[in-house]
Amino acid sequence: MPQGTGKRGRPFVFSDAAIQCVLTLKVLFQLPLRAAQGLVGSLLRLMGLDWPVPHCSTLLRRQRDPTVTIPCRSRGEPLHLVVDGTGVKVLGEGEWKVRRHGADQRRVWRKVHLALDAEGHEIRAAEMRDHRHGDAEILPDLLAQVPEGEEIGSIGGAGAYDTRAAYEAVAARNAACLVPPRRNGKPWRTRTVGADERIETLRAVRHLGRRIWKRWSGYHRRSLAETAMSRLKRLGERLAAHDPARQVAEVQIRCAILNTTNRLGMPETVTLA
């Protein structure tokens, strides 16, 4: 049972952890809310526990304003974050059907932004916005989800993060910005935050070339964020929720599932040739 909150009104019957547990099974097995309620009830009966199960209407209401905990392990070392964004479908037909026969219905997408720890392969921050917001605009909100006490060594991203706002957000956390300059990028005025670091990056890219600079700076680790995006979509081609607040909760629960499975072990890749 949940602890008292000190607020007016009747307290919740089920804790946030209980709600997140049921919603995790719902997302993991791609079930409707009522089916998730029945699954949890069956599991409790198999374990011989006479515990109450949240009703589907309770799950629907609590999912709108959840407190989802994304498990993360602190390694005691500076974080090396890689950030990326991708579109997640919330309404529309499957991709195979659209490729073969064309689209018959309107399709709606939401943009999911992730900040991934390149060393621990854990998702440290997640945001979801509509297509009107650019990647660089979301970076300050992503970094705000990382506790101030945790040191960030570097932040890597695609060329879309080559903006003044992104460099200011990275500089606020005293981290290095591993973002390739745009093809037609010009040096900024030295009074701009992060201008000196970007000028050094421009010089290195022009002197060494983009391919060598990416190897030398460790920029190639950004592909880990794309891998995390692929794993996120393996949990479902589209978001089941239609309300934006519930969609955010569903994305956060997917991130929590991925971080939990990471603790079971990660595959080891070996170069053969």
The DSSP bridge pattern shows strands 123-129 and 79-91 to be unpaired
State pLDDT tens for residues 218-249. Answer: 888 888 888 899 999 999 878 888 888 899 99
pLDDT mean over 150-156: 92
Could you say which architecture CATH assigns to the domain 79-243?
2-Layer Sandwich (3.30)
pTM, full prediction = 0.85
Q: Quote the tokens at residue 202.
A: 């421009």
Q: According to the model, what pLDDT value does residue 93 have?
A: 66
Q: Give the residue among 255, 50, 57, 239 at the shortest CA–CA distance from 145.
A: 255
Per-residue model confidence as pLDDT tens digits over 167-200: 999 999 999 999 998 888 788 887 778 888 888 8
pLDDT at 253 over 80: yes
Which two structure tokens, joined as six digits, stand for 85?
A: 């964004």
> Rounded CA gap, 158 and 206, in Å?
18
* Rounded Cα–Cα distance for residues 23 and 36 (Å): 8
Of 188-197, 251-260, 261-270, which one has max mean pLDDT?
251-260
Please state the domain extents for the chain: 16-64, 79-243
